[in-house]
Amino acid sequence: MSKLPALSAWLEGRLPALLAEHQVPGAAVAVYAGGEIVDRAAGVLNKATGVEADVDSLFQIGSITKVWTTTLAMQLVDDGVLDLDQPVRKHLPEFVLADADAAARITVRQLMCHTAGFEGDIFTDTGRGDDCVEKYVATLGDVPQLFAPGELFSYNNAAFCVLGRIVEVLRGKAFGACLQDHLFAPLGLTHAAQSPYEAIRFRAALGHLTPSPGADPEPAGMWALTPSNAPAGSMLAMRPRDLVKFAAMHLNDGEGPDGTRVLSAESARAMRDRQAELPDLGLFGDAWGLGWSLFDWPGGQVVGHDGGTIGQSAYLRVAPEHGVAVALLTNGGDTIAVYTEVIEHVLRELTGIEPVAPPKPDPAAPRVDASRYVGEYSSAVADIVVSQDDDGRVWVERVPKGIFAELAKPEKTELVAMNGDTLILAEPMQGMYVPHAFVGDDGTGRALYLHTGRADRRVSA
């Protein structure tokens, strides 16, 4: 007997209270199992208007888009026109980085699993035209290389813009048209939008930002990031039901809802194969496949991806061995707490898998010798200073840069011991105790990178 009716009843009763407890304005959930989908929604899409969320409401899925972009590229592998282990330059001879040698060697596979090694948080606005991704790739000529291609995992938005451009070149059409023709249409998606111009046709969520710790979330002043980053996750919005339809295609080894072959079984399975190992980084997962984040949880394999845009957070978890997928889309507040309860309940009830909860600091954590960690680290997103005071407490001060300087304020927070060379925030940041892994060696015994999913390179002692 299906457990979905009971699960649907639990969501109907629990979701509104859960949102209220954690100051989340609105959310929607969809669960796929055994060929069926149930979905529920609660709260409001915009606190300024009071429009209620329903199951057909659109939320931004953020970086979950990266799995869609990878899927478009894997369709080209199926067509025999793309080889993952060939250099990017085979298809994009104009691909240039500050490190000419690295740019010549980076492969398509390395783009997909975040091991290309160049600075990845580049959000240059190149307009709203169909050529915005092409123009964006042309701006990467001065982007620095953090490490040799294939050496390390470091989350890389820019790499997926490059991957999206490869899809455009090989398909001969803009990225949005590729999504529409090769995924939306064969999957029968009806509530998905690639821009605010499309989203306005539906009940669309606006993100909410928290001005200070403990304050109520407030409507954000803008809806989305730049269209040039669409292949990485800046624009795509949909209802949860349509997102789990996409996940169901992957669960069914590439077969669409009407039996249409959207992706080969070989490619669907290859996307879930382990490609890169991660430091101890909590929600980022334990390893990365092609597009997918991989989680080593008791009870079976789980793959997924998260997404974060301006005040919106999205979570997708898929259990391939059990044929189950769950999507949670939200628009502000302490979404980690909502994610933890909803995902744990769904996977436990339908699969027996026990998700590993996001890490939290140990109040009794001992002091550490931070001499290996102290110093300044930098990226396009922020300048970060790690210090240790006379009492032995370790501090991390983060000063946002670029577009993020408009969305976040400088913060100084304490780090405490977690596991080996990984420390963790003593106080939550946007509801999450972020692990900080110190990896590599600068030649003097000090960490070369501060890794929080992205590897920020040391720039001074």
By C-alpha distance, which of 424, 411, 426 is closest to 450? Answer: 424
| CA distances, 244 to each of 241, 248, 345 (Å) | 5, 6, 17
Clarify whether 267 is annotated catalytic.
Answer: no
Over the range 145-164, which residues count as b (16 or more CB within 10 Å of their CB) and which as e? Answer: bbbebeebbbbbbbbbbbbb
How far is Cα 77 from Cα 178, in angstroms, rounded to an integer? 15
| H helix intervals, 79-174 | 100-105, 108-112, 132-137, 157-171
How far is Cα 307 from Cα 232, in angstroms, rounded to an integer? 10
Find out whether 95 and 137 touch, Cβ atoms under 8 Å: yes
In the chain, what is the straight-line distance between the N-terminal and C-terminal CA atoms, in Å?
62
User: Contacts by 36-41 with C-beta closer than 8 Å and gap 24+?
Assistant: 36/2, 36/4, 37/241, 37/244, 37/245, 37/248, 38/4, 38/5, 38/7, 38/8, 38/11, 39/239, 39/240, 39/241, 40/8, 40/11, 40/12, 40/15, 41/15
Find out whether 111 and 163 touch, Cβ atoms under 8 Å: yes
| H helix intervals, 252-358 | 265-270, 335-351
Catalytic residue among 2, 8, 57, 63: 63
Task: Extract the tokens encoding 324.
Answer: 């189950």
Q: What is the DSSP string of 220-270?
A: -S-S---GGGGGGTSS-EE-HHHHHHHHHHHHTTTB-TTS-B-S-HHHHHH
Bridge partners for 211 per DSSP:
none
- Active site amino acids: 63
